[in-house]
Amino acid sequence: MTAYPHLFRPLDLGHVTLPNRVLMGSMHTGLEETGDWDRVGAFYAARAEGGAGLMVTGGLAPNPEGAVLPGAAGLMSADDVIHHRKVTERVHGAGGRIAAQILHAGRYAYSKDAVAPSALRAPISPHRPLALDEAGIEKQVADIAAAAARAREAGYDGVEIMGSEGYFLNQFLVAHTNRREDRWGGSYENRMRLPLEVMRRVRWAVGPDFIVIFRLSMIDLVPDGSSWDEVVTLAKAVETAGASILNTGIGWHEARIPTIATSVPRRAFAWVTKRLMGEVGIPVITSNRINTPEIAEDVLAEGCADMVSMARPFLADPDFVAKAARGEAARIAPCIACNQACLDHTFAMKLTSCLVNPRACHETVLTAAPAARSKTVAVVGAGPAGLTAALEADRRGHRVTLFEAAEEIGGQLQLAARIPGKEEFRGLLEWYAAELAASGVTLKLGYRAAAADLDGFDELVIATGVKPRDPGIPGAEGPQAVSYAELLSGRAAPGTQVAVIGGGGIGFDVAEFLSHAPGDSPAEDLAAWLREWGVGDPAEDRGGLSPEGPCPAPSPRKVTMFQRRPGKFGATLGKTTGWIHRSTLRAKGVGMEAGAEYLSIGPDGLSYRKDGEIRTHAADQIVLCAGQEPENALAGLAETRPPGTTHLIGGALSAEGIDAKRAIAQAVRLALEF
Ligand code: NAP
Ligand code: SF4
């Protein structure tokens, strides 16, 4: 008997039955653009083996003008069909099913050839699109239908028509982007003509026995977005036009409301999909911030949807579904919704991977064959680098001892988990604990390893992490100054008027911590989160934007951040999440003072020079977040050991820009070497 009866109920689509209610949602990985189709196939085959009921590929362009970028992957030619056949064969060989997402970017295309209903530049694009004429519209519809036919020819089990997130079809639907006065604009009947024409022509092109998912924007989160009546009208019309399944899209890419970041509560938008249940006869999928089988099961059991879409969780763990089916949910590597190795990579034009699972999209590169000889391995430090190195070495058959001076595992992850909006890190810590418990690793907690303890091990991994940098400000030894570690660990209580020295990732985390009252976490209170960001009920407010706008809870204390360099704060934060941190802190009234030269810390607060003028910022507490230095006291052991058997990783190797992503990736690669 499964713990997830709704999740594991087959879904009969008429010509095919899906074994469970899990859709692996579309993700742009950048793999297709490498041209290494074996690698693309390996990525999807691993997820098919892991039990996803149905998968959707990353967005594939129907034509060059619709591509998100020049050169982006598409379904435009006979060659494309040949390449994609390698993917579908691998997936079918692994017992899976896969649909191709057809994505026309419209005005979001990063190209001067972008086309759209009207010549209105998107706020997130440098290019003004060309407004299509009648013949141009017909070409786009025909190209999308032809791409769908190619998907079928390539062996896909279906297609997903991307009608949400502010892409081409969505641009026709709303007056915000559609200012046309012909039969493609004006009334809603006219504005939905193009998506419906696309749906009808795609169905005609692929025949009846083929899955066609229509991804429909259920809450646009932009001004002049769709009303709920329009959403329902479209859903019904799309069903009539031949869709097999409706998938949920949440928010346009240009929306200034986060929809998938870690600070967004889990299942934050399932209530929106639930509104559509009963309005259509075809299955409806819900999406966004669903990352455990428990949540997926609850969402289905509560009637919010017929199926759940999860995307990033399949980067973190390709075996998500299989582990849930085996009753091993605790061993599913959790997606912490950080975006650090997935979406941030996409925007930096780098191959996608996963902070928690560096093997994602590297399936053919980071293989882990059993070691030729089982060695003894000592790992010092149970932060993300040490934990990963120990577990990976154990999986390869080595005999591993893991030393940790603290009373608990996790290192810096423990501090991250205390930041409001970063509670997902707790799940990562729990997963590491479950993996350790299931492994052969000998864990020595609360044990500060000395040189003698480490003698005789074949391999020594030093993963002792970092220590806070002392910025050397006169007076910092006084009672007003505390390190971020003292504050976040609870060794120091927060002050009432606080200056934060440093505007890097930790400075921002500390400012978030200080500007929330205890127990007030955006990620743990959906109603408060919706209020904070001004998300309204789409049935009352067009596009789901509440007329009151964002209403964050006030900060319980006065917080001001400082940095020495002039200019914008948060320049080193993630591309897809930095704006969220900046908006949150601004809304909480956190001050940001750049270009400060620190002079001293004293009972009056922080004295600094700016623009040639000496100023005092009144504060009863100054939190030092001035970066870190390696904690590498054991590094000298390398000289006493056989060459090549001592390895420094993570912050102990280099503190500059170190984060869990780099630490974990280094550990995985190292463990393959011995
Ligand atoms: P960081 O990002 O390098 O920032 C260090 C800050 O300290 C900078 O703002 C720097 O600004 C200041 N600073 C450096 N040397 C100083 C000195 N001698 N005196 C005074 N101020 C000094 O490091 P971090 O904040 O410690 O974060 C560590 C790593 O964790 C980073 O890689 C970060 O990306 C990652 N992290 C990321 C997040 C996130 O993305 N949300 C959260 C936590 C941590 P000035 O030089 O301008 O003064
Ligand atoms: Fe999830 Fe972060 Fe991995 Fe992306 S990088 S899949 S958000 S854990």
* Mean of pLDDT values over 378-383: 98
Q: State mean pLDDT over 625-648.
A: 96
Q: Which of 418, 564, 664 to probe ligand 1 with, by most ligand atoms within 8 A of CB?
A: 564
Mean pLDDT (whole number) for 581-601? 96
> Distances in Å between the alpha carbon of 301 and those of 8, 142, 169, 224?
12, 40, 32, 33
Q: According to the model, what pLDDT value does residue 289 have?
A: 97
Mean pLDDT of the chain: 97
Q: Residue 522 has what pLDDT? A: 80
Q: What is the 15 CA–ligand 1 centroid distance (Å)?
A: 55
pLDDT tens digits, residue range 109-166?
999 999 999 999 999 999 999 999 999 999 999 999 999 999 999 999 999 999 999 9
**Ligand 1 binding pocket mutation candidate from 501, 576, 659 (most atoms within 8 A of CB):** 659
What is the model's pLDDT at position 207? 98
163-179 confidence digits (pLDDT tens): 999 999 999 999 999 99
Does CATH number 3.40.50.720 belong to domain 376-468+629-671? yes
What is the band of 180 on the pLDDT scale with cuts at 50, 70, 90?
very high
HSE at residue 636, side-chain half, CA atoms within 13 A, is: 3
Please list every protein residue whose CB sits less than 6 Å from any atom of ligand 2: 312, 315-316, 335-342, 354-356
User: What's the gap in Å between 359 CA and the centre of ligand 2?
Assistant: 12
523: confidence class by pLDDT, cuts 50, 70, 90: confident
Counting ligands in written order, which one lies closest to the CA of residue 661? 2
Indicate which atom in ligand 1 lies nearest the CA of residue 565.
47
In the chain, CATH 3.50.50.60 covers: 481-516+555-626
DSSP state for residue 262 in the 8-state scheme: T
- Quick one: CATH architecture of 481-516+555-626? 3-Layer(bba) Sandwich (3.50)
Instruction: Please indicate, yes or no, whether the overall pTM of this predicted structure exceeds 0.75.
Output: yes
Residue 260 has, within 13 A of its CA and on its CB side, a CA count of 26
Task: Tell the burial category of 389 from Cβ atoms under 10 Å away from its Cβ (0-12, 13-18, 19+).
Answer: buried
Report the nearest-CA residue for atom 6 of ligand 2: 312
DSSP code, position 371: P
Which residue spans of the chain are classified as CATH 3.40.50.720? 376-468+629-671
Asked if the model's pLDDT at residue 420 lies above 90, the reply is: yes
Distance 459 CA to ligand 2 centre (A): 30
Instruction: Determine which residue's CA is closest to atom 8 belonging to ligand 2.
Output: 335
Q: Using the atom order of ligand 2, give the atom closest to the CA of residue 336.
A: 8
SS3 breakdown of the chain: % helix, strand, coil, rounded to 5?
35, 20, 50
- Ligand 2 pocket mutation, candidates 24, 27, 259, 312, criterion most atoms within 8 A of CB: 312
Q: Give the per-residue pLDDT at 203.
A: 98
Residue of minimum CA distance from atom 15 in ligand 1: 626
Which residue out of 340, 483, 506 has the highest number of ligand 1 atoms within 8 Å of its CB and is therefore the one to mutate? Answer: 506
- For residue 296, pLDDT beyond 80: yes
Cβ(465) – ligand 1 distance below 6 Å? no
Residue-wise pLDDT for 642-668, tens only, equals: 999 999 999 999 999 999 999 999 999
C-beta 575 within 6 A of ligand 1: no
Q: Which pLDDT tens digit goes with each residue over 233-245?
A: 999 999 999 999 9
Q: Helices 384-395 & 424-438, crossing angle to 10 degrees?
A: 30
Question: Could you say which of 3.90.1170.10, 2.60.120.260, 3.40.190.80, 3.20.20.70 is the CATH number of the domain covering 11-347?
Answer: 3.20.20.70
For the cut 80, the answer to whether the pLDDT of residue 1 exceeds it is no
Region 478-498: what's the mean pLDDT?
96
Confidence at 257, pLDDT banded by 50, 70, 90 = very high
CB burial of 28-50 (b: ≥16 within 10 Å; e: otherwise) equals bbbbbbeeebebbbbbbbbbbbb
CA–centroid distance, 354 to ligand 2, in Å, is: 5
Write the residue with the smallest CA distance to atom 34 of ligand 1: 505
DSSP, residue by residue, 549-565: ---PPPPSSEEEEE-SS
Average pLDDT estimate for 631-635: 95
Give 521's pLDDT tier (boundaries 50, 70, 90): confident
Q: What's residue 597's pLDDT? A: 98
The pLDDT value given to residue 41: 98
Q: What is the mean pLDDT of residues 610-622?
A: 97
- Which ligand number lies closest to the CA of residue 345? 2
Which is the closest atom of ligand 2 to the Cα of 343? Answer: 4
Ligand 1 centroid – CA 485 distance (Å):
13
- The residues that bridge with 401 in the sheet, in sequence order, are 378, 442
Catalytic residues: 167
